[in-house]
Amino acid sequence: MTKLSFPFSEEKIRALKVGDEVLISGTVFTGRDAVHKYLHEGGALPDGVSLRDGIIYHCGPVMMKQDDGSYQCTAAGPTTSIREEPYQWQVIRDFGLRGVIGKGGMGAKTQAACKQYGCVYLHAIGGAAQVLAECVKKVRNVYFLEKFGSPEAIWELAVEDFPAVVTIDAHGNSLHEEVFARSQAALAQALALKS
């Protein structure tokens, strides 16, 4: 288990390999479809948000507003990442991302960007939203809440020991690609036996 703390340097990220388990601590920003499309189309990040040497989390967290105006995160599960594939490579390139957390994997453009710019894709456990919310120690801020709504807003989270697995590394390797190839081979073999 590798401990990763913000800021996430290129050296630390390039040392990771597919299959490595990590525990992430520090600042993480959420970002889903609306944010990725907005950035892809030339939108600027709001003041106070920097993704450089950071991690973006494909997540629409469930937040409870407290009496003092602060927020408590009650669910923070990953959303399906492939929806961001048309945009993710550019966000990695333009904003200096070192990590992307989500579920289900991403495609060839993101894989190539990870290799070129020193970034990793980190797979979080789907269906464990409440457990992952326990790793969110503080909700520091929220941006674009009125513009995009709560699930699509950028939430600034302070996380501690957030668990994930590297499934696309900064060396061009993708566990998703490997599993797909093995599955295709097994299917072809099964169909050959049946005929």
7 prior amide bond cis, ω within 30: yes
Give residue-wise pLDDT tens across range 82-117. Answer: 999 999 999 999 999 999 999 999 999 999 999 999
pLDDT at position 7: 92
The domain total for the chain is: 1
Give the H/E segment covering residue 161: strand 154-168
Cα–Cα dist 95/112, whole Å = 16
Give residue-wise pLDDT tens across range 67-85. Answer: 999 999 999 999 999 999 9
- Residue 149 sits in a domain whose CATH number is 3.20.130.10
- Single-letter amino acid code for the residue at 177: E
pLDDT at position 176: 65
Alpha carbon separation from 170 to 15, 35, 72 (Å, rounded): 8, 24, 33
- At 151, list the tokens: 């699930």
pLDDT at position 180: 61
Residue 2: strand pairing partners = 22
pLDDT at position 168: 97
- Residue 44: which domain range? 2-194
pLDDT at position 183: 64
pLDDT at position 179: 60
User: Per the residue annotation, which of 36, 58, 123, 176 is the catalytic one?
Assistant: 36
The count of C-alpha atoms lying within 13 angstroms of the C-alpha of 16, restricted to the half-sphere facing its C-beta, is 33
Cα–Cα dist 126/138, whole Å = 21
Active site residue 36: yes
pLDDT, block means (10 residues), the chain with 195 residues: 94 96 98 97 95 97 95 96 97 97 95 98 91 96 96 97 97 78 70 74
Give the H/E segment covering residue 21: strand 21-30
Alpha carbon separation from 35 to 60, 119, 148, 182 (Å, rounded): 11, 19, 8, 34
Residue entry with tokens 């993708």 = 174
Q: Across the chain, what does the average pLDDT equal?
A: 93
pLDDT at position 192: 78
Task: Write down how long the chain is.
Answer: 195
If we measure between CA atoms, which residue out of 78, 91, 88, 2 comes closest to residue 43?
91
Note if the pTM is more than 0.95.
Answer: no
All residues at 6 or more sequence positions from 133 whose CB lies less than 8 Å from its CB, including other chains:
61, 62, 73, 74, 75, 76
